[in-house]
């Protein structure tokens, strides 16, 4: 099914967009709603995601990743951009100017990100799953617990142990 959707989207055929919405709206909404609490922002963001998918369909390469992974990354990043924009707008209203980041801070941030990715890759698959739900998809503990059939306390305990494990792996640099 997704091969047909990709084929139609790459050909800029409206049927591809219709099939995309029919098949993947639930996934996209699930990701965006977990990041953006406001319903209007969620709806607006989802519309932007469809536009991004429509215009970027030609760049999708099946051998690089699964289609759902590609959709997930676009959805998550677009929702995070919305969230950052909202936060920046509120900060600008309060302060009157945006924060500046130096090139050195950018390099340090990238290095920390690389180290964190390596440490996360060394975790068990269950730990990675919980880590990504909490820190990548920004899901609430209650949502993780409900969807994994666990208690909130159990998820909180696993997250605590996970953070400690990452702190040890990173020399105390993870919070």
> Does 168 score more than 70 pLDDT?
yes
Between 65 and 153, the more confident residue is: 153
User: Could you tell me if residue 174 is inside a domain?
Assistant: no
- Residue 145: predicted pLDDT: 92
Domain housing 86: 2-95
- Regarding whether 6 and 81 lie in a shared domain, the answer is yes
> Does 173 score more than 70 pLDDT?
no
Between 173 and 133, the more confident residue is: 133
Q: CA-to-CA distance for 89 and 121, rounded, in angstroms? A: 35
CA of 127: how far to CAs of 30, 48, 54, 140, 164, in Å? 21, 32, 34, 16, 12
Whether 134 contacts 102, CB under 8 Å = no
- Regarding whether 159 and 109 lie in a shared domain, the answer is yes
b/e sequence 73-91, b meaning 16+ C-beta within 10 Å = ebbbebbbebbeeeeeeee
Q: CA-to-CA distance for 94 and 89, rounded, in angstroms? A: 9
Last residue of a domain, one of 36, 71, 95: 95
Q: CA-to-CA distance for 40 and 120, rounded, in angstroms? A: 34
- Number of neighbours of residue 49 by Cβ within 10 angstroms: 25
Last residue of a domain, one of 76, 95, 114: 95
SS (H, E, C) the chain: CHHHHHHHHHCCCHHHHHHHHHHHHHHHHHHHHHHCCCHHHHHHHHHHHHHHHHHHHHHCCCCCCCHHHHHHHHHHHHHHHHHHHHHHHHHHHHHCCCCCCCHHHHHHHHHHHHHHHHHHHCCCHHHHHHHHHHHHCCCCHHHHHHHHCCCHHHHHHHHHHHHHHHHHHCCCCCC
pLDDT by residue (tens digit) across 4-53? Answer: 898 998 999 999 999 999 999 999 999 998 888 788 889 999 999 999 99
CATH number at residue 7: 1.10.1740.10
pLDDT by residue (tens digit) across 84-122? Answer: 877 665 555 455 444 556 777 778 778 888 888 888 889
């Amino acid at each position: 099914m997704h091969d047909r959707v990709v084929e139609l989207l790459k050909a800029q055929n409206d049927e591809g967009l219709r099939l995309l919405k029919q098949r993947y709206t639930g996934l996209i909404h699930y990701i965006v709603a977990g990041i953006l609490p406001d319903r209007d922002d969620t709806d607006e963001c989802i519309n932007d995601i469809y536009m991004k998918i429509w215009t970027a369909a030609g760049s999708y390469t099946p051998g690089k990743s699964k289609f759902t992974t590609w959709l997930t990354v676009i959805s998550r990043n677009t929702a995070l951009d919305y969230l950052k924009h909202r936060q920046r707008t509120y900060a600008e209203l309060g302060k009157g100017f945006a924060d500046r980041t130096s090139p050195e801070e950018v390099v340090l941030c990238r290095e920390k990100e690389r180290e964190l990715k390596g440490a996360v890759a060394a975790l068990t698959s269950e730990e990675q799953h919980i880590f990504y739900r909490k820190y990548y998809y920004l899901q609430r503990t209650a949502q993780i617990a409900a969807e994994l059939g666990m208690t909130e306390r159990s998820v909180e305990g696993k997250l605590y142990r996970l953070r400690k494990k990452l702190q040890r792996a990173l020399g105390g640099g993870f919070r």
